[in-house]
Chain A
Amino acid sequence: MTAPATPASSPATAGERPGVRMARSRRNAELSLLLLAMALVAAYGAMVEAKVLDTVTPGFWVPAATLTAVFLGMHLVIRFLAPFADPALLPAVALLNGLGVGFLRRLDLAKAAPEERADLAIFAGIGGRQLAWTLISVVLAAGLLALMRDHRSISRYAYTLGLAGIVLVMLPAVLPASISEINGAKLWVRIGSFSIQPGEFAKLALLVFFAYYLVRKREVLSLASHRFLGIDFPRGRDLGPVLVVWAISLLVLVFEKDLGTSLLYFGMFVATVYIATERVSWLLIGLVLFFGGAYLAYVLGDAVGGPFANFYLRAQIWLDPFAQPYDEGYQLVQGLLALGSGGLFGAGPGGGQPLLLPEVQNDFIFAGIGEEIGLFGLSALLVIYLLIVERGLRAALAVRDSFGKLLAGGLAFTLALQVFVIVGGISKLIPLTGQTTPFLSAGGSSLMANWLLIAVLLRVSDAGRRPVDGAGGKVTRPSGPPEQLHGAPTEVIKP
């Protein structure tokens, strides 16, 4: 396989279908956007140094350049392996990831003794570690792109992945707290100084399973809905899987003491069920089950305590964080104060006091960044997240097979939901729960899982945007069965 020098103009003139615009890979647009994003990351690094060190060191560009090299490598991989993938995804993710690394490095600068600040090694501190994780994550994502030449191929492992997902979800819950509990949430597996969050990977594995399962189940559900035309609610036996997932997410809520993860799994499942069946009643059932369950946990936490006490406490903090500003409410209060101190324009990169925030490298990174870039900057970050999500949904719209639609739609929605849960949590929109902020938070598990998610989206978007008849010419088409049976109403490529 050879790289098309100018992929945008490569499609053969023959074989185009009338009415369908000539497919363009837009790889050069991706490259330009990527370089722009990396220039922003470099500028951010320079501004941080100017503020924190009072001078810009000669090596300020090194982290940004390293990231650029890594992402350029990814760009090349996409050029070869997924030439029609969405061109906005990589630059958007790279910008978030780069700003995350920059902000973590900024924390290192603030923590280091003044005399050591100027010569902070590139892989030193949490910023450097995040840089290394980025490298590993991007390599993994590239590897996934290389191995998974057709997204439908992973449906073969759906049951394996489903089982693995459930094991990964339940693993921290069954392990003793000494191994799995950090800051009151049992989400971890700790081996020595190394800890991973299996839940981050579980959501990917489970989604593949959901998508596969629902594509098959969808047929039954469609038949069922025809048979019971006019009846709003599904048959009792169809409720089974929903109830199982509901029970699992409540178990997660209770035993892993984590509302966010529970909300994430359940929301993910309900969204995919809804996309698969197009029945609003599933959505209603899901919402009622979740909020009913959460309310029940709240009431039980008040009355019984025990495993529900943690959730009750979190709800109490959410309702009035300033009631105990130095104790239970400390994190949330400090997050709000950081955001408020940032105001509209922020204190400028490096100008804030992020070290006043607990967990600023993880849960509260959005608040820490928000203090420095203000409402305007945070709005821009939200728009970038929104862009990634909408691009993912667009890939779902464009792809022709049901499995791909469900997979991409589910993944995009999961990403959106995760951003909502953590950003809403730290800004007191919803009760705060420990979730990582995708691509920003320090930590390898989250970064790797989210890059794998992006790799899947890239793969699906490549499939969706690829000319139907292989007009890409030089690109080998994956040879799978034409599973486009459900794709009849699917649009092909519309601008």
Chain B
Amino acid sequence: MNAPLRRVGVVVIVLFGLLFANLNWIQAYKADEYRTSDYNGRVQVAKYDRKRGNIEAGGTALAVSKETDGELKYLRTYPGGAKYAHVLGYEPVNGSATGLERAENDFLAGTSDQLIVNRLRDMVTGDTTAGGNVLLTLSKRAQDTAYDELRNNNRGATKGAAIAVDPATGAVQALVSIPSFDPNPLASHNTNEATSAYNKLDKDAARPLRNRALGEVLPPGSTFKIVVAAAALENGIGQDTNIPAGSSYTPPTSGEAITNAVPSICPQAEVTLMKAVTDSCNTGFAKLGVQLGPDVLKEKARQFGFEQEDLTVGRLGETGLGVAASRTGSMANPDGGTDPAALAQSSIGQRDVRMTPLQGAMIAAAVANGGSQMRPYLVRQLLAPDRTTVYDTANPRELRRPVSGQVAADLRDMMVSVVQNGTGRNARINGYTVGGKTGTAQSAPDRPDHGWFIGFALDSNGKPVSAVCVVLEEAGSGGSAEAARIAGQIMRAAIAEPGGR
């Protein structure tokens, strides 16, 4: 019996060897991953011992940590509430942070390499290093206006977004998505409360947690005509060139006629490009798109920022909030050739064309800024925990040049005409030159249309001060006019109280 007993001893050693090897795997190889896991409450306890930095805009603190008596020392609160929820995100005890709380976590938490000197100093003095502060570009007034106007829109739309940027720098002045949510319960130290608050929001059919300004892609409707017009201007068509129009256009191979919003728009055989933009002539742009071809359209859209998948809005040169890619979609037949019907519908921003509100604002901003599209950003400055040292000041940079200065000037004239004489009259601001383009996009066959407006404001010297995009989802008839009105209000607020640059 001794031989099998010895073998049993070997088996035991093998079993314990397996245990030992597996513990090595967990406690050595995977240790860092587990130590910093989002599910690991220890990270939280250690993290909450340290005062997290503020997030501020225009001197107002929007996210602050308050001392409590609990096991987790500091409670994250959001005095800005729902208004800033999609920009700031929230920092839950369990699970992942979102928004800038996530993107700027290292600096806010005080673990960033940039704060190494502070940490070393505090190691000597025995203090716990507080986190650094993040200053935003937002204009508090523009943000307030955008949030209030969106929520109180006269179309009764419950979903929508607005974003305003400074065309000259790319600094975001306002960024709002409705419906929004109160981030405070999500940051509660009572994790059951936080979880139930999250579950309620997560299950909400209106998806309040979604940042529609950056993450929602919708058919852009007639706002896309600016891109088509830019392509036309670069292909030998001038503002005053007559283009074919008409009250109805049935593209070859398609049984479905494209008509204008009302019969009074461009019923004549030909209108100028200027007139076609001003009145938002569908037949004219459908024919124009078919004439230009899918490659020209797609390339122009790409130059304006369509198809970009890796854009983030946060700190320049660093990560930030992710932006969904805008798409022009397929305009081809199943056999690979161009489908004129798809091309015609895409030319008026329907079919498979999809755009984020940010992309709309960036088109307007590029036009307003002489053809130069600046990279959008939200973080103006990083401030040391003691608020004396500035670590990082945003240095605006050009993202791309979608159009030349001349084409931009022509587009600007046409967009100004839209607000002065055409469909965007609601956006006018006294003392400023406002340009824009409305859009009404079919959503689903039996659902109301989306209302869009993209636009910009120039001061009396012709210098751009704000570019904006407003979308009211399923707002129905009159949605784009209401969007134009809200856009005007937001730009007015941004002019009255510019955000930081």
The answer, among A340, A406, A409, A427, for a CB contact under 8 Å with B33, is: A340
A413 touches B1 (CB 8 A): no
Answer yes or no: B466 CB below 8 A from chain A CBs: no
Whether the Cβ atoms of A379 and B42 lie closer than 8 Å is no
Task: Select the residue from B1, B3, B11, B30 with max chain A CB neighbours within 10 A.
Answer: B1
- Once the chains bind, are B20 and A382 in contact (CB under 8 Å)? yes
Binary CB contact string for chain A from 68 to 82 against chain B (1 if under 8 A, 0 otherwise): 000000000000000
CB distance from A231 to the nearest CB of B (A): 19
How many residues of B sit at the interface, in one of the four size bands?
35 or more
Which one of A333, A339, A397, A417 lies within 8 Å of B5 (CB-CB)?
A397
Given contacts A341-B34, A416-B15, A429-B18, contact A271 B41 (CB under 8 A): no
Distance A424 CA – B14 CA, assembled complex (angstroms): 13
Give the CA-CA distance A393 to B11 in the complex, in Å: 12
Residues from 409 to 466 in A contacting B, C-beta threshold 8 Å: 409, 412-413, 416-417, 419-420, 423-424, 427-429
Contact between B34 and A393, CB atoms less than 8 A apart: no
Interface residue ranges of A345-386 to B (CB < 8 Å): 352-353, 356, 370, 374-375, 378-379, 382, 385-386
Inter-chain contact A337/B39, CB cutoff 8 Å: yes
Q: Does B124 have its Cβ within 8 Å of any Cβ on chain A?
A: no
Q: Is the CB of B8 within 8 A of A271?
A: yes
A492 to chain B, nearest CB (A): 12
Asked if B13 and A406 sit within 8 Å, CB to CB, the answer is no
Question: Is A375 in contact with B27, judged by CB distance below 8 angstroms?
Answer: yes
Which residues does chain A contribute within 8 Å of B37, judged by CB atoms? 337, 340
The answer to whether B40 touches A341, judged by C-beta atoms less than 8 angstroms apart, is yes
**Contact, CB under 8 Å: B15 / A417:** yes
Is A216 an interface position by the 8 A CB rule?
no
Query: With contacts A386-B12, A390-B9, A429-B19 known, is A275 near B1, CB below 8 A?
Result: yes
Complex CA gap A336/B3 in Å reads 38
- Say yes or no for A486: interface residue by CB 8 A criterion: yes
Q: Is A405 an interface residue (CB 8 A)?
A: yes
Say how far B30's CB is from chain A's closest CB, in angstroms: 6
State whether the Cβ of B4 lies closer than 8 Å to any Cβ in chain A: yes
| CA–CA, A370 and B23, complex, Å | 10
Nearest A residue to B3, CB-CB: A278
Interface membership of chain A positions 150-178, coded 1 if the CB is closer than 8 angstroms to chain B and 0 otherwise: 00000000000000000000000000000
**A333 contacts across to B, CB distance below 8 A:** 39
> Residues of A within 8 Å of B, CB-based: how many?
54
Given A325-B39, A326-B94, A343-B31, A416 and B16 contact (CB-CB distance below 8 Å): yes
A340–B35 touching, CB < 8 Å: yes
What residues of chain A lie closer than 8 Å to B39, measured between beta carbons? 322, 325-326, 333-334, 337
- In contact, B5 and A344 (Cβ under 8 angstroms): no
A275-B26 in contact (CB<8A): no
**Interface residue? B393 (CB, 8 A):** no
- Known contacts being A386-B13, A396-B5, A416-B12, is A344 close to B18, with CB within 8 Å? no
* Distance in angstroms between the alpha carbons of A469 and B34 in the assembled complex: 59
Q: Which of A353, A385, A397 contacts B2 (CB 8 A)?
A: A397
Q: Which residues of B contact A339 (CB under 8 A)?
A: 23, 26-27, 34
Distance of A374 Cα from B329 Cα, bound (Å): 55
Q: Kindly list chain B residues whose C-beta atoms are within 8 Å of the C-beta of A219.
A: none
Q: What distance in Å separates the Cβ of B36 from its nearest Cβ neighbour in chain A? A: 9
Is A495 at the interface (CB under 8 A from chain B)? no
Q: How far is the CB of A36 from chain B (nearest CB, A)?
A: 23
Chain B residue nearest to A374 in the complex (CB): B27
Contact A275 B20 (CB under 8 A): no
Nearest-neighbour CB distance to chain B for A434, whole angstroms, equals 18
Give chain A residues whose Cβ lies under 8 Å from the Cβ of B42.
Answer: 337-338, 341, 352-353, 356
Other-chain residue from B1, B20, B35, B45 in contact with A406 (beta carbon distance below 8 A): B1
Most buried by B among A276, A337, A342, A393: A337
Please, what's the 1-or-0 string for B103-138, where 1 marks a CB less than 8 Å from any CB in chain A? 000000000000000000000000000000000000
Contact B31 A413 (CB under 8 A): no
**A-B contacts, 5 listed (Cβ < 8 Å):** A274-B4, A326-B195, A340-B31, A379-B20, A393-B12
Instruction: Known pairs A275-B4, A375-B24, A379-B23; list 6 more (Cβ under 8 Å).
Output: A275-B8, A352-B42, A375-B28, A416-B15, A416-B16, A429-B22
